[in-house]
């Protein structure tokens, strides 16, 4: 099951096609150059960057996925995460990702 953050962070390459990309991800359709930023699956990490196509794997279909960002490339996803971390730290004084969202 996929849930979307109220404040969804978007890379520049995704902004113009946000609804189409979200629909493709939700329906498990093959996507080209879409990376999802989610809460980390490992509690020692902050966030995960996952190729949207991986969400169709049985492992992810059994989990609730909370997507907080979408990017059009791995490097764009890294830049988006960097900006998110800066914002979280500026607002909270720490890196409490789950609490921030």
For 71, list phi and psi in degrees, rounded to 5.
-140, 160
Question: What is residue 33's three-state secondary structure?
Answer: coil
pLDDT in tens, 31-84: 889 999 999 988 889 999 999 999 988 888 888 899 999 999 999 999 999 999
- The single-letter DSSP state of residue 95 is -
Name the residue range of residue 85's domain: 2-100
Report how far residue 81's alpha carbon sits from residue 38's, in angstroms, rounded to the nearest whole number: 10
Instruction: Considering only CA atoms, give the Rg of the chain.
Output: 13
| In the predicted structure, residue 23 carries a pLDDT above the cut 90 | yes
pLDDT of residue 59: 85
Residues forming a β-bridge with 10: 70
Q: Give the pLDDT confidence score for residue 18 in this predicted structure.
A: 94
Evaluate if pTM is beyond 0.75: yes
Residue 54 burial (10 A CB sphere; 0-12, 13-18, 19+) = exposed
**Domain count along the chain:** 1
Using the predicted structure, report yes or no on whether residue 96 has a pLDDT greater than 90.
no
Residue written as token pair 């990376």 = 35
């Amino acid at each position: 099951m996929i849930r979307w953050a109220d404040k969804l962070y978007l890379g520049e390459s995704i902004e113009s096609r946000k609804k189409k990309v979200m629909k493709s991800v939700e329906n498990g359709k093959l996507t080209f150059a879409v990376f999802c930023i989610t809460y980390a699956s490992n509690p020692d990490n902050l966030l995960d960057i996952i190729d949207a196509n991986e969400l169709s794997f049985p492992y992810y279909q059994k989990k609730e996925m909370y997507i907080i960002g979408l990017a059009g490339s791995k490097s764009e996803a890294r830049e988006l995460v960097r900006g998110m971390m800066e914002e979280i730290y500026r607002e909270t004084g720490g890196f409490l990702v789950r609490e921030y969202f």
